[in-house]
């Protein structure tokens, strides 16, 4: 479970280990107020966040390596960015005073995103991405193998085993 509270405290977004992000009004927790679909959230729980000066957007990473941005009110995908090639995007944080966000996944790196002058809407392959995410089609990599091989090569696994 990952959750983010809106700065005013009136809304909360949550990400569970399933393929939806949920928006709740904090004064009425009986039913979700919004549901954002399309990303894939099976391998690791993804961070979710609001984005925009008035929290007009909800954003989340995905097991497919993309960053999904939805309109908070309409719940429609307004942007889908390739964050990691053959990787996972787990964390997204925004800058509250500048139009930028940071993303990271399982790798030892992060990316800073800023807008371009030209139209950079990268949603031409959105239908294909959504089809793969909703069909349960295997993503072409083995997360545990990636993690274990990296940990072993860096000596992390041996160090952790000795400490326990």
Average pLDDT over the chain, rounded to an integer:
77
Q: Is 51 exposed, middle or buried (0-12, 13-18, 19+ CB in 10 A)?
A: buried
Q: What is the DSSP letter of 43?
A: S
> Where does the pLDDT of residue 2 fall: very low under 50, low under 70, confident under 90, or very high at 90 and above?
confident
Q: What is the mean pLDDT of residues 42-62?
A: 87
Tell me the per-residue pLDDT of 3-38, one tens digit each, with 9 for 90 and over. Answer: 787 777 888 998 887 778 999 988 886 789 999 998
Q: Check pLDDT > 90 for residue 158.
A: no
Q: Are 87 and 107 in contact (CB under 8 A)?
A: yes
For the chain, what is the total number of helices (H) and then of strands (E)? 3, 11
Q: Check pLDDT > 60 for residue 88.
A: yes
Q: Check pLDDT > 90 for residue 74.
A: yes
User: What phi, psi does 71 have (nearest 5°)?
Assistant: -70, 125
How far, in Å, CA of 21 to CA of 39, rounded? 9
How far, in Å, CA of 70 to CA of 17, rounded? 19
DSSP string, 17-36: SSSEEEEEETTB-SS-SEEE
Q: Are 114 and 100 in contact (CB under 8 A)?
A: yes
> Where does the pLDDT of residue 119 fall: very low under 50, low under 70, confident under 90, or very high at 90 and above?
low
> Where does the pLDDT of residue 149 fall: very low under 50, low under 70, confident under 90, or very high at 90 and above?
very low
The confidence score (pLDDT) of residue 69 equals: 93
Question: Can you say how many angstroms the Cα of residue 62 is from the centroid of all Cα atoms in its chain?
Answer: 5
């Amino acid at each position: 479970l990952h959750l983010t509270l809106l700065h005013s405290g009136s809304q909360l977004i949550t990400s569970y280990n399933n393929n939806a992000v949920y928006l709740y009004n904090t004064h009425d927790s009986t039913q979700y107020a919004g549901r954002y679909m399309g990303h894939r959230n099976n391998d690791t729980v993804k961070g979710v966040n609001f984005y925009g000066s008035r929290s007009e957007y909800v954003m989340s990473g995905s097991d497919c390596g993309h960053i999904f941005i939805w309109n908070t009110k309409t719940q429609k995908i307004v942007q889908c960015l390739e964050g990691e090639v053959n990787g996972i995007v787990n964390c997204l944080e925004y800058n509250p005073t500048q139009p930028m966000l940071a993303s990271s996944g399982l790798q030892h790196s992060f990316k800073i995103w800023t807008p371009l002058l030209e139209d950079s809407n990268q949603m031409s392959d959105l239908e294909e991405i959504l089809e793969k995410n909703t069909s349960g089609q295997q993503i072409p990599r083995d997360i545990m193998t990636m993690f274990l091989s990296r940990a072993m090569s860096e000596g992390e696994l041996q160090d952790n085993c000795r400490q326990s």
